[in-house]
Structure 1
Amino acid sequence: MFDWVVGVVEKGGYPGVALLMFLENVFPPIPSEIIMPLAGFAAARGSLDPIGVVLAGTAGSVAGAWVWFLVGRWLGAGRIERLIVRHGRLLTMSLDDLDRARDWFRWRANLAVFLGRLVPAIRTLVSVPAGIARMDTGRFLVWTTLGTLIWTGLLATAGYMLEARFAEVEAYVDPVSKGVVGLVVAAYVWRVATYSPARERD
Structure 2
Amino acid sequence: MDLDLVINVIEENGYMGLFFWLWFGIFIIPVPNEVLLMTVGLASSMGSLDPYLAFLVSYLGISTAFTSIYLVGRIIGRRLLRFLEKRKRFADTIESSMKMMDKYHAFSLFLSCFVPGARNLVPLLYGFSRLSFKTFAIFAYSGAFIWVLTVYMIGYLFGDKMDAIMKYNKEMWILAIIVAAAAAGIIFLKKKKVKNEGIESALGTESAIYQERQHK
- Does 2:121 align with 1:125? yes
Contact 1:40 1:160 in 2 (8 A): yes
Bigger Rg over Cα: 2
Instruction: Report what 2:130 is aligned to.
Output: 134
Contact 1:117 1:151 in 2 (8 A): yes
Structure with more of its chain in helix, by fraction:
2
TM-score of the aligned structures, taking structure 1 as reference length: 0.65
- Does 2:162 align with 1:150? no
Provide the rounded CA distance (Å) in 2 between the counterparts of 1:19 and 1:6: 15
Deviations 1:110-169, CA, capped at 9 Å, x for gaps: 211110012122211111101011111122122111111111111211121135x4xx75
Cα deviation for residue 76 of structure 1 reads 4.5
Instruction: Report what 2:51 is aligned to.
Output: 50
Provide the rounded CA distance (Å) in 2 between the counterparts of 1:104 and 1:36: 25
Superposition CA RMSD, Å: 3.3
Contact 1:54 1:149 in 2 (8 A): no
After the TM superposition, which of the residue ranges 34-43 and 124-133 deviates more from structure 2? Answer: 34-43
> Any gaps of 5 or more consecutive residues in structure 2?
167-216
TM-score of the aligned structures, taking structure 2 as reference length: 0.61
- Does 2:87 align with 1:90? yes
Higher relative contact order (CA 8 A, sep 6+): 1
Provide the rounded CA distance (Å) in 2 between the counterparts of 1:68 and 1:90: 19
> Any gaps of 5 or more consecutive residues in structure 1?
177-202
Instruction: Report what 1:68 is aligned to.
Output: 69
Q: How many residues align?
A: 163
Identity between Structure 1 and Structure 2 (%): 25
Cα deviation for residue 22 of structure 1 reads 1.0
- Does 2:42 align with 1:41? yes
- Does 2:60 align with 1:59? yes
1:59 match: secondary structure: helix
